[in-house]
Structure 1
Amino acid sequence: MGEKTAPWYKEISRYQWKTLSVAVTGYALDAMDFLLYSTVIMLIISEFGITPGFAGLISSASLMAAVLGGYLFGVLSDFIGRSKALYITVIIYSIGTFMSGFSQDATQLLMWRILLGLGMGGEWGAGMALVNETWPSKHRMKAIGFVQAGWPIGYLVAVIISSIVVPHLGWRGLFMLGVVPAIIVGIMRLKMPEPPSWIETKKSEKINPVELFHRKYIKRTFILTLFTTGGLFGYYAGGTWLPTMIKGPAEEGGFASPELVLPLMLVMNMLGIISFPLYGYLVDRFGNQKSVISLCGITCAIGMGIMAFAGSNIGMLTIGLIMIGLFEAFFVSYGVTISESYPTRIRGTALGFVFNTGRLIGGQAPVMVGMLAITMGLSKAMIIGSAGFILVALVSLILPQRNLEQVESVSNDIQSHPKEAQI
């Protein structure tokens, strides 16, 4: 009989688990702060007397600010470090959410949501770089699967907190709770060392963000940006308006079923929490990433179509939600594929640019849905999200091959020389 192989998690060091926990928590709370708005759109429309189109604009403005924040903090993380950049972004988006609760009109709310977006945009790239540069290649997709699961966790927390807090404190009290992430992540961030690979690069190599657009990298930058654009367009087209569609009146394309918001969001996001790590495990175990991404994109497109044309059929709506909840797991490949396509010296810049340019274009989806909803009804307007998922399926066929050597972890060094890893 051969020797038993130790479980994969036994190979992971304490430091690696710590970087993962910080990244997961930061991303989950990032999602929570952003998606709290989606749960109270109708209350804000009613109080401020704005149109659905302007309400969508507020959401899109956060996403546009996230683009700027992603660009800025992506570059900054290459210069000052992944952990430091992550901490700063969490502080910014927490302040933006907290101050949203004091808004006296829609313009003030728009301003604070823009501040939130600045922090939100930078958090993803810093967290992804931190995990990719500390976890070994053979377990990297699993690790990023856990990080990406932070988004549905945050979505779920947003829906649950909203259902508990809003009846007692209103939407303002809900936003004021957004200061909690700064406290939680601030405590977790204490004494968090930077990745050894970043430290060595910082000492020996010149950081030049413009290198991202040099001839050597421009083709992959373009392809990866198309990849992120498709997925984010599809996700934002549905995710931003979904609670409103379920609660909204039937004559406006809604389901007039506010009591179903919580259970349906629970189903969709619980599936995401399961499917993201599962996706990471399967790709690490069996490879064949391109085929899996293509399958996921096509399935999400079909799920969006079923959801959009479900009419008053709650069963069809649920089927569509389940399909998207299970197969949106291709988002896991964003963090790993982008990271492995660039050297350490420009990895933060690449993550920030590629993902947030996808946000820039995909972030137009909430406004487009809001505008189309005036003539088509809200549920049918969401069909435009299918186009984004189809783009994902097509681009997956030409994605760069994984370059595992590009981000080889040197995290073992931190176990024997922990003080040298702090900067």
Structure 2
Amino acid sequence: MDVEKSPAQPDIAASRAQPWHAGLTPRHWRILLGSYFGWIFDGFEAFALVVVLPFALKSLLTAHQAQTPSFYAGAAIGITLLGWGLGGVIGGVLCDYIGRKRMMMLSVFFYALFTGLTAFSTSFATLALLRFITGLAIGSEWSTGVALVSETWPDRARPKGCGFLQSGFGAGALLAALIWFVLSSFEPLGTETWRLIFAVGCVPAFFVLYLRRALEESEKWAAAVKAQHHTAADGTVVTTRPFTLAEIFRDPESRRRVLLTTTLSFAATVGWWAVSSWLPAYTAHLAQLRGQPAGIWVARMSLIYNVGAIAAYLASGFIADAMGRRPYMLLTFAGSLVMSVLTYTWHGALPPLMLLAFFNGAFTLGLGFSWMAIYLVELYPSRVRATASGFIFNAARLVAWIFPIIAGILVTRFGGIPNAALSMASVYVIGLVIPWFLPETAGRPLPP
């Protein structure tokens, strides 16, 4: 696969004098909205697991298993990540073959279905199995939405649109935090209230009806696929299309970009799942030490954390365009490292921890994942865009899934969450090195 190494700078000087949203039509916003809602449901489902996991494990673990709850918490997250990674790689490939719209509808339906079934878990093994299958469906949705928005929005507005799209994950996580705040305040099912948040997660299945009517297929993808077909003398259509997953590794420059960005994705993924995902448990621990209601403070922290993430998501496209892609990524990983250290070395009052949670969310979740939505689509052409983006975003999870389990073991061996989290936070150092070896794509058109 030929990767354009130094594309010519487009004539966009005149367009910069116009607002970034000039020329956007209702169709552009409709496509963004459809993809955005799909990613909202992903965010809801992922964060729902994080906030209710301590309560779910109390209900599901046997007396013997309950002696090492940190291990099983890490295992539940790790198994979800493993499914997410596999589903993301497979879904990205399928998206480049069967189309963006069709793949999105399938992924939304199946993760809604299995999220709802999670409410009926009767043991840790059942929970783990349902988390794995749900992860398969979640993983396939991200690359679909990013490819669709990036291929339909104009170059000037594309980074902002992709940043807005990524904010759907934060909005979904915020929604999960809000619902859990209400549920934990009233506890309608007592200690089994955690099941209700997964029951709510089956609602997105009805969203498929909207997707079927509102979304249009990407013309760039359709044109790229058509260009790889020809009509034989007997009138049959012959495809000369190589396997997309192999194609992104065929060209040396493409292969180099895949390996570097996957390493960077690994750092962001491990950083969030093995470091920031312990923040609810850490908040609960500090609240209990002060005789405060743990559930209420965890819910407050979750809300504030996700508000910070959403603010960063919405600003990410503007920051990336103003600074350039490479400085933006360096800022992201430096900030994530600093905020992780400040958060897990805090032993004071709870209100200042809430402020730290805001900035932690902004860096580790908001900016920490937005760069993938903005930057990866600019590195590959339409015929393999979803495959490349899906592989980079999700293949890291095929390695990173073990780290929440490792972190769970470290919590036990290091005598607490802070030491384990701080040791795992060193992964962010990778993000201070890798960006220097990647191309700057700010201001360049999307590869056809």
TM-score, normalised relative to structure 2: 0.84
- Comparing 323-332 and 199-208, the one that deviates more: 323-332
Cα distance in 2, alignment partners of residues 196 and 369 from structure 1: 44
Deviation sequence 1:204-227 (CA, Å, 0-9, x none): 122521111113311111011011
Q: Any residues of structure 2 matched to 1:86-105 within 5 Å, and which?
A: 86-105=104-123
Cα-to-partner distance string for 1:339-368 (whole Å, 9 max, x where unaligned): 111111111111111111122233333212
2:158 to 130, 140, 148: 140
Letter in 2 for 1:208: F
Contact 1:86 1:123 in 2 (8 A): yes
Identity of aligned residues (%): 26
User: Contact 1:340/1:406 (CA < 8 Å) preserved in 2?
Assistant: yes
What letter is aligned with 2:445? E
Matched with 1:195 is 218
| Stretch of structure 1 that moved more, 296-305 or 324-333 | 324-333
Contact 1:40–1:171 (8 Å) recurs in 2:
yes
* Structure 2 partner of 1:262: 299
SS at 2:445's partner residue?
Answer: helix
Q: Distance in 2 between matches of 1:267 and 1:40?
A: 17
The DSSP-based 3-state class of the residue aligned with 2:217 is coil
**CA shift for structure 1 position 29:** 0.8
Report how far residue 325 of structure 1 moved. 2.4
Distance in 1 (alpha carbons) for counterparts of 2:424 and 2:291 = 17
When the two structures are aligned, how many residues end up with a matched partner?
Answer: 406
Distance 2:292 2:432 in 1: 30
The counterpart of 1:44, out of the listed 31, 51, 56, is: 56
Structure 1: which 4+ aligned runs deviate by more than 4 Å? 2-6, 249-256
Distance 1:236 1:60, change over 3 A: same
Q: 1:58, 1:281 → 2: CA distance?
A: 36
Flag the structure with larger Rg: 2
1:331 corresponds to which of 357, 369, 376: 369
Amino acid of the structure 1 residue aligned with 2:97? F
User: Cα distance, 1:259 vs. partner?
Assistant: 2.4
CA 254–241 in structure 1, closer or farther in 2 if over 3 Å, else same: farther
**Residue of structure 2 aligned with 1:110, choices 128, 131, 145:** 128
Superposed displacement of residue 39, structure 1: 1.5
1:145–1:276: 8 Å Cα contact kept in structure 2?
Answer: yes
* 1:296–1:393 Cα contact (<8 Å) kept: no
Aligned to 1:318: 354
1:218-297 matches, cutoff 5 A: 218-248=255-285, 257-284=294-321, 286-297=322-333
Identify the residue that residue 420 of structure 1 maps to in structure 2: none
Change in Cα spacing, 1:363 to 1:325, as seen in structure 2 (3 Å) is same
Equivalent residue, structure 1, for 2:379: 341
2:45 paired with 1:33: yes
SS of the aligned residue for 1:168 comes to coil
CA distance in 1, matches of 2:26, 2:282: 44
Q: What is the deviation of 1:303?
A: 0.7
Q: Which amino acid aligns with 2:198?
A: F
Aligned residues of 2:288 and 2:294 also touching (Cα < 8 A): no
* Distance change >3 Å, CA 254–CA 325, structure 1 → 2: farther
Residue 221 (structure 2) pairs with residue 184 (structure 1): no
Tell me the CA shift for residue 98 of structure 1: 0.5
Residue deviations 1:76-110 (CA, integer Å, cap 9, x gap): 00001011111111111111111111111111111
Distance change (3 Å), C-alpha of 1:74 and 1:273: same
Distance 1:117 1:69, change over 3 A: same
Whether 1:407 and 2:407 are equivalent positions in the alignment is no
The whole-number CA distance in structure 1 between the counterparts of 2:290 and 2:117 is 32
Deviation at 1:157, TM superposition (A): 0.8
Contact 2:92–2:391, Cα closer than 8 Å, also in 1: yes
Separation in 1, partners of 2:90, 2:107? 10
Contact (CA 8 Å) 1:36, 1:158: kept in 2 or not?
A: yes
- Is contact 1:45-1:52 (8 Å) kept? no
Shift in CA distance, 359/253, structure 1 to aligned 2, threshold 3 Å: farther
State the one-letter code of the partner of 1:282.
I
Q: Name the counterpart of 1:413.
A: none
Question: Which moved further from structure 2: 378-387 or 14-23?
Answer: 378-387
Q: Tell me, in whole angstroms, the C-alpha distance in 1 between the residues paired with 2:297 and 2:112.
A: 29
Unaligned 5+ runs, structure 2? 1-13, 229-240
Q: Is the 8 A contact 1:63 1:363 kept in 2?
A: yes
The reply to whether residue 391 of structure 1 matches residue 430 of structure 2 is yes
Per-residue deviation, 1:52: 2.1
The alignment status of 1:129 with 2:167, answered yes or no, reads: no
1:319-346 CA-partner distances (Å, limit 9, x unpaired)? 4323322334142221232211111111
TM-score (norm 1): 0.89
Distance, in Å, in 1 between the alignment partners of 2:200 and 2:381 is: 39
Q: Deviations over 1:161-194 (max 9, x none)?
A: 1222351141222211111112124323424211
Task: Tell me which residue corresponds to 1:175.
Answer: 198
Alignment pair present for 1:159 and 2:199: no
Which whole-Å CA distance do the structure 2 matches of 1:154 and 1:135 have between them?
23
The residue type equivalent to 2:428 in the other structure is: F
Amino acid at match of 1:348: A
1:10 to 22, 29, 48: 22
Number of the residue aligned with 2:400: 362
Compute the RMSD of aligned alpha carbons. 2.5
Of 330-339 and 151-160, the range deviating more from structure 2: 330-339
1:95-126 residue CA offsets vs partner (Å, 9 max, x unmatched): 11111111111111111111110011111111
Deviation at 1:46, TM superposition (A): 1.4
Whole-angstrom distance in 2 between the partners of 1:282 and 1:163 = 32
